[in-house]
């Protein structure tokens, strides 16, 4: 059963306020990923837990604010809330076990970098941001 929209609203806004497009349905994901065939696309599978609040969302924010290169598109789905959209997004990296929160970086439509939950939890936001900035620098134009 999905979480209450009122509960997740502030967590969603942490990303949408910095430019992420929220994908709410499988059709939204399909359209967004069709447009993601050129350049870099960052996808955050958002979640309600403390790992997301303490490391994932702040780490993404820091990486986007401080990096020399930045993804062309910022997309997000919310696990345990937007179930259809999350399942469809996960189909774009089906060989990777479901993980929430998690962060995927696509270059020209191909998955090039993935940060699962176990590489987020137990770290601080700045460490995660540094890893993301390195990936942006490696795969950016």
Which pLDDT does position 2 carry in this prediction? 77
Please report which confidence band the pLDDT of residue 105 belongs to, taking 50, 70 and 90 as the band edges: very high
When pLDDT is averaged across residues 5-11 and rounded to a whole number, the result is 89
- Could you tell me the domains of the chain? 5-139 (3.40.30.10)
Q: Is the pLDDT of residue 109 over 90?
A: yes
Element (H, E) at 97: none
Phi first, then psi, for residue 26 (nearest 5°) are -60, -40
Element (H, E) at 29: helix 26-35
Please report which confidence band the pLDDT of residue 66 belongs to, taking 50, 70 and 90 as the band edges: confident
**Using an 8 Å Cβ cutoff, are 74 and 42 in contact?**
yes
**Using an 8 Å Cβ cutoff, are 47 and 89 in contact?**
no
């Amino acid at each position: 059963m999905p979480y209450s929209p009122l509960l997740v609203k502030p967590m969603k806004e942490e990303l949408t306020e910095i430019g992420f497009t929220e994908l709410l349905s499988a059709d939204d994901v399909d359209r967004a990923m069709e447009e993601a065939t050129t350049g870099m696309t960052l996808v955050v599978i958002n979640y309600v837990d403390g790992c997301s609040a303490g490391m994932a969302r702040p780490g993404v924010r820091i990486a986007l604010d401080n990096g020399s290169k930045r993804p062309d598109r910022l997309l997000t789905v919310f696990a345990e809330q937007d179930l259809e959209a999350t399942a469809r997004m996960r189909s774009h990296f089906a060989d990777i076990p479901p993980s929430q929160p998690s962060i995927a970086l696509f270059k020209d439509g191909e998955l090039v970098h993935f940060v699962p939950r176990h590489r987020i939890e137990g770290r601080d936001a700045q460490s995660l941001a540094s890893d993301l900035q390195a990936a942006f620098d490696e795969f950016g134009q």
